[in-house]
């Protein structure tokens, strides 16, 4: 009987030096995919992935293509090893939404690679031109955190899991939010080590530039539902895919609602494709009744294949 799975793809922050190296050494198809990426980008993305340094890999313009290529490389090998794997839906956290669309056939590998490279470059430029920061709020009610964001003139960037919401905005606004967090019943306010204010109004210049690139990209309806971050629902028509991928740059990542939507549709088995198990951890806080298999490298790939073919 075919194994029905939902694919989940990692967002920025999951990157690790060495990502994909063992896969490229073990599977010629992965080496070929990464060679294609290197040629298209005009620099050795694979070398940055394999050797770093972390400072270079963490650059938004490097990190986003790296995670995109890594996720699709893992998927390629998984499909080769589990031919009866039936993908029933896909989703990705922030950047990962582009990988999810590529996996669902919305655009081909090269088109998606160009999109995430451009997106990362535009966001990197926006970070350099604005003074932004992000703050993870642990504990506390969503309503109180939204109230705090409004009072501090910052934006709600991510709703990652119950009790884990991220704020994004100007350094001054984030500092004000951190100072007032205890008053709002928030257990901890943790500054994030990021280059700028992702998923906030400070990314508006990146959003505008990405909209132009998306308008020119060859996009079709995906073969399976892809749940978008911005509206926490599947998007199907090319024009709404362009619109939601654009809106996502400054909009909130509604991850909790996105996962709840998939679970409400009867999905119970998820496969996370990325360098760490962040999404599995978030799902553990969202709904413990579903299973998430995290695939990061050759070892976890082999374990997943054994489970899926048992």
- Catalytic, 94? Answer yes
- Give the Å distances, CA to CA, from 4 to 93, 271, 307: 21, 10, 13
**To which CATH superfamily is domain 131-192 assigned?**
Malonyl-CoA ACP transacylase, ACP-binding (3.30.70.250)
Q: At residue 244, does pLDDT exceed 70?
A: yes
pLDDT for 310: 87
Residue 194's Cβ-side half-sphere holds a number of Cα atoms within 13 Å equal to 30
**Could you tell me the fold of the domain covering 4-128+201-309?**
Malonyl-Coenzyme A Acyl Carrier Protein; domain 2 (3.40.366)
Could you write out the DSSP letters of every residue in 245-257?
A: HHHTTTS-B-HHH
H/E element, 165: strand 164-170
Q: Whole-number mean pLDDT of the chain?
A: 96
Pick the catalytic residue: 70, 199, 258, 261? 199
Q: At residue 1, does pLDDT exceed 60?
A: no
Convert the pLDDT of each residue in 67-122 to its tens digit: 999 999 999 999 999 999 999 999 999 999 999 999 999 999 999 999 999 999 99
Pick the catalytic residue: 46, 61, 70, 94? 94
- CATH 3.30.70.250 placement within the chain: 131-192
Contact yes or no for 250/129 (Cβ under 8 A): no
- Catalytic, 261? Answer no
- Please state the rounded mean pLDDT for residues 188-209: 96
- Please state the rounded mean pLDDT for residues 186-210: 96
- CATH 3.40.366.10 placement within the chain: 4-128+201-309
Res. 2 pLDDT band, cuts 50 70 90: low
Burial of 205 (0-12, 13-18, 19+ CB in 10 A): middle
């Amino acid at each position: 009987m075919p194994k029905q799975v939902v694919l989940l793809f990692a967002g920025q922050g999951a990157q690790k030096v060495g990502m994909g190296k063992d896969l490229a050494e073990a599977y010629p198809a992965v080496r070929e995919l990464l060679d294609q990426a290197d040629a298209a980008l005009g620099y050795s993305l694979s070398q940055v992935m394999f050797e770093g340094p972390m400072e270079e890999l963490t650059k938004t313009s490097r990190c986003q293509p790296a995670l995109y290529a890594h996720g699709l490389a893992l998927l390629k090998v998984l499909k080769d090893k589990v031919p009866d794997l039936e993908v029933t839906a896909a989703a990705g956290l922030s950047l990962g939404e582009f990988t999810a669309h590529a996996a669902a056939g919305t655009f081909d590998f090269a088109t998606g690679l160009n999109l995430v490279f451009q997106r990362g470059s535009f966001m990197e430029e926006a970070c350099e031109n604005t003074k932004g920061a992000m703050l993870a709020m642990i504990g506390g009610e969503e309503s109180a955190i939204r109230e705090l964001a409004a009072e501090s003139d910052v934006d709600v960037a991510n709703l990652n899991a119950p009790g884990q919401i991220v704020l994004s905005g100007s350094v001054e606004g984030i500092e004000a939010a951190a100072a007032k967090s205890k008053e709002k019943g928030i257990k901890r306010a943790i500054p994030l080590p990021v280059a700028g204010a992702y998923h906030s109004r400070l990314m508006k210049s990146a959003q505008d530039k990405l909209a132009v690139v998306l308008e020119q990209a060859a996009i079709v309806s995906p073969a399976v539902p892809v749940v978008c971050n911005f509206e926490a629902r599947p998007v199907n028509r090319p024009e709404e895919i362009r619109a939601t991928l654009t809106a996502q740059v400054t909009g909130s990542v509604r991850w909790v609602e996105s996962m709840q939507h998939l679970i409400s549709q009867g999905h119970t088995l998820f496969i996370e494709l990325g360098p760490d198990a962040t999404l599995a951890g978030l799902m553990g806080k969202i709904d413990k009744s579903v299973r998430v298999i995290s695939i990061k490298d050759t070892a976890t790939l082999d374990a997943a294949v054994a489970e899926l073919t048992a």
